[in-house]
Amino acid sequence: MFSRRLLLGTIAGLGLATAALAHSYTAGDIAIGHPWSRAAPAGVTGAGFMTLRNTGSTPDRLVSAHAEIARTVEMHTNVQDGAVMRMRPVEAIEVAPGQEVKLAPGGLHLMLIGLKQPLNKGARVPLTLVFERAGAVEVELAVEAAGAAGDQHAH
């Protein structure tokens, strides 16, 4: 027969496992889904990807991000310049009410410039996102393989 303590511990453990699998966060009205990165060696630039959904009725903006593992973090987008795709920094990432914005390879993304340590596959890397209205929230980037597309996960 199970003791009450053992039963409660088991239920709590299942809750933590479920939360870890979900890999989502919230900041105010902003839901942040599956933040991830690709494996990369130290000394180069890494990237951060995720989905941002505004569940509220007021616009918000991602205005900055920072991570101890990088010298600096910038927000970028890719733009077509003739026949060449180029990255350009953006000042903020708008998240309109009821809308979802995907930060993904080939589009909007975070650049982790000057990695102080490698991004190793399977690791979780702390990253702080700062929203204009929702404020700061710490998330963890799940590091996937170097060439990962990130589409193998539910967002």
Interval 12-57: pLDDT, tens: 444 433 334 447 999 999 999 999 999 999 999 999 999 999 999 9
Interval 107-119: pLDDT, tens: 999 999 999 999 9
Interval 76-96: pLDDT, tens: 998 888 888 888 999 999 999
CB atoms < 10 A from the CB of 57, how many? 8
**11 HSE (CA, 13 A, CB side):** 7
Is the model's pLDDT at 73 over the cut of 70?
Answer: yes
The domains located in the chain, with CATH, are 24-144 (2.60.40.1890)
d(CA 53, CA 37): 19
Interval 122-151: pLDDT, tens: 999 999 999 999 999 999 999 999 877 765
Q: Is 0.85 surpassed by the pTM of this model?
A: no
